[in-house]
Amino acid sequence: MSRLAIDIGGTHLRYELIGETEVCGNMSSRDSELAHFIGTMIEKYSDIDAVAISFAGQVHDGTILSAPNIETEIVDIQAHFESKYGIRVRIENDLNCAALAESVYWGEENLVALYSGTGLGSGIIEKGEIVYGSRGLAGEIGHIPYREAPFACGCGKHNCIELYASGSGIEKWMAHLDCKEPVDLDRLFRSGSESCRSIAEKYIDALLYAAATLVTLCNPKIVVLGGGVIRHNPFVLESLNARLGDFALHAAMEDLRLEASHIENASLEGAKLLLDTM
Ligand SMILES: [Zn+2]
């Protein structure tokens, strides 16, 4: 039998088929509607008996609650494919999947993954299990209230921390302040324009606030930082290491480690881990 792991975000759909035939792929998520992709794979590889999906949106009990950047025709993915093909299906938020993979990688059962890419999100692992909340929304750190911004977040509010500590936030500020630098945190820091530099400074302050909130609220042993913005700017981790103690509860800082993610695609790795539990 074969098992299929999928990671779908706003830009990419990545997958790995594990079994007699081993196939992996990476395509634009805009050209591959999720349900259509799953249906095509099941028909092509008829021995697939389990599918695990890491999904960049809000998910609860096998159903997609919202997905601002992903086209989905079917929201009750789990029930739909289980009844249509008689296979096992599990769909999880991508940051929960990433946190699960980080937990296994670092061998740590109390861990938070804080990822800053297009958006800002976190996944919380407590005693080796994902922390969900009542509707699967725990860990939505990107949408905690922070400061009023002159534009809206994807969720509709104007004061989300994601508007400051994410790639999309940086782009919104650059457009608002008419900053002509390349969209790159390091270049913004080195800009001759004070308003461009202020975007980078706002980014670091907001990320510190998010990390300190998670440390104080969840008391993890390790905070793993990942996502495109952090991966391309290793100095972000140094800034956080130097200043987190000024923001977070001191007692929660004891024995705390900040680490940069070493996993190439943690969400897909997390989806593969889910397959092992199905
Ligand atoms: Zn928001």
pLDDT per residue as tens digits for the range 106-123? 999 999 999 999 899 999
Instruction: Judge whether residue 69 has pLDDT over 80.
Output: no
pTM, two decimal places: 0.94
Question: Which DSSP string corresponds to 24-87?
Answer: EEEEEGGGS-HHHHHHHHHHHSTTEEEEEEEESSEEETTEEEE-TT---S-S-HHHHHHHHH--
- Domain residue limits at 71: 2-93+266-277
Establish how many alpha carbons lie within 13 A of residue 109's alpha carbon, considering only the half-sphere containing its beta carbon: 4
Predicted confidence band of residue 72 (pLDDT cuts 50, 70, 90): confident
CA distance 73 to 77: 9
Interval between CA 16 and ligand 1 midpoint (Å)? 31
Domain identity same for 72 and 102: no
Q: Which residues are placed with Cβ below 5 angstroms of ligand 1, an ion?
A: 143, 153, 155, 157, 160
Residues 48, 169 share a domain? no
Tell me the CA–centroid distance for residue 154 and ligand 1, in Å.
Answer: 6
pLDDT digits over 252-278, tens only? 999 999 999 999 999 999 999 999 998
**CA 268–ligand 1 middle distance (angstroms):** 24
| H, E, C per residue of 206-257 | HHHHHHHHHHHHHCCCEEEEECHHHHHCCHHHHHHHHHHHHHCCHHHHCCCE
What CATH number is given to the structural domain containing 241?
3.30.420.40
Instruction: Grade residue 70 by pLDDT with cuts at 50, 70 and 90.
Output: confident
Distance (Å) from CA 244 to ligand 1 centroid: 23
Q: Write phi, then psi, for 216 (nearest 5 degrees).
A: -70, -35
Q: Same domain, yes or no, for 122 and 80?
A: no
